[in-house]
Amino acid sequence: MKFTRRNGVFLIVALFAAGAMLFSTGVTGQEEGWQIMRADYGHKELRVDVMDRLNELLARVGPNGSIEVTSQNFGGDPAPGKAKSLRIFAKNRNNETREFEINEQHFVEARLFLIRRDDRGDRDRDRDDGNMLRIIGAYYGVQGRTVNVTELLRSRVREGTVSFVVTNAALGGDPAIGSDKILIVVYRYQGNETATAVREGNTLTIP
């Protein structure tokens, strides 16, 4: 199962109408510079950690951009058939904490958050690498029980390709014993951002 979008269709960089974002409380134009401490995506207790992915997306769209909250953008669907949301736990320069909750198909406004410096570096490397394969995010498991295997996938890239049989041993353990698991990988290749899903026991080959 594979889908491809060109030229940032995954990442909708535009201003949106007032009220498009649903926060736990209201947000004014002066409330900027929140530092992200944690972020998860899903439905109720069926959630996955998406902090790294969120920071990467924020770096890509820049301070004037926005990010649509979708399963495609956040590495897969942890709760099929359920209404999902993105939760962002952040603090400001006064160490005050706040939870932002944005419903699926609504938008994160980048200007509210600090962009990590190393993610800007990743964005610059994307420009430099051009057509090279880059693993953006990878998650293995079943709904509500997934593990982030992004770094493991990155370490398996050899000469611009990655290919191996999807097994618990290959991915560092079994996050959902007794269940048929799926590996979801989001990657960039030749200027296109693509996601692919491979069932346990089958072979992942990229590109």
Residue 67, strand partner residues: 108
CA distance from start to end of the chain: 13
- The residues of the chain scoring below 50 in pLDDT are 2-31, 118-128
Which tens digit of pLDDT belongs to each residue from 193-205? 888 999 999 999 9
Which tens digit of pLDDT belongs to each residue from 106-126? 999 998 998 765 444 444 444
Q: Give the burial class of 10: count Cβ atoms within 10 A of its Cβ; 0-12 exposed, 13-18 middle, 19 or more buried.
A: buried
Q: So what's the pLDDT on residue 129?
A: 53
| Cα–Cα distance, 12 to 150 (Å, whole number) | 23
Q: So what's the pLDDT on residue 121?
A: 44
Is-contact 102 137, C-beta < 8 A? no
Residue 137, strand partner residues: 186
Q: So what's the pLDDT on residue 51?
A: 86
Q: So what's the pLDDT on residue 127?
A: 46
Domain ranges of the chain: 2-117, 130-206
